[in-house]
Structure 1
């Protein structure tokens, strides 16, 4: 019985730590500026965490899904590659009924 409580507590702690680490890297948090723009790898990261950013932006008006201070094509390429691979990968992993 005590092991179940410990496992649940550990799982809750891991989930909370994961959410806090995501919150530190969300687009629009002030880490980028017009002189220090987000690039390709930031675009990939922001694409991967877009669903979490959407939920978080419902509670905080300063947070957005997309970083407005980006360097253009390379940020967009990374962002859309991550979005497509995430949601497209989910669609490809579904089993088709024959």
Structure 2
């Protein structure tokens, strides 16, 4: 019975992945495309942008096109710094 469940899970995953859509022009070297600093800002405002994107199709949480790796790095730093990252989550509190 277990191989049937595994096969069904893979079939469901393949079906869901077939619905994925990718925008062709994701990176650009043109002047004015978002880079590291915009990525950092977009990472900081991600929670609010995500909530806004649920109600308005004009709000996006990620800039496309962007400069590529540096934008992604800034976005990652913005999200982890705002969320406290793993440093704050791993600290244990002293119980008194």
For Structure 1 versus Structure 2, the TM-score category normalised by the shorter chain is 0.5 to 0.7
**Runs of 5+ unmatched residues, structure 2:** 1-27
4+ residue runs over 6 A deviation: none
Q: CA deviation at 1:73?
A: 0.6
Could you tell me which residue of structure 2 aligns to residue 37 of structure 1?
Answer: 33
Q: How does 1:12-91 map to 2 (within 5 A)?
A: 35=30, 36-89=32-85
Does 1:96 find its partner at 2:89?
A: no
- TM-score normalised by structure 1 residue count: 0.56
State the alpha-carbon separation in 1 of the partners of residues 82 and 68 from structure 2: 21
State the alpha-carbon separation in 2 of the partners of residues 95 and 59 from structure 1: 38
Shift in alpha-carbon separation, 1:50–1:61, aligned structure 2, 3 A: same
CA RMSD of aligned residues (A): 2.4
State the alpha-carbon separation in 2 of the partners of residues 51 and 91 from structure 1: 20
- For residues 2-48 of structure 1, the C-alpha deviation after alignment (integer angstroms, 9 at most, x for no partner) is xxxxxxxxxxxxxxxxxxxxxxxxxxxxxxxx643111100000000
State the alpha-carbon separation in 2 of the partners of residues 42 and 92 from structure 1: 24
Q: CA deviation at 1:97?
A: 4.4
Q: CA deviation at 1:91?
A: 6.7
State the alpha-carbon separation in 2 of the partners of residues 89 and 81 from structure 1: 9
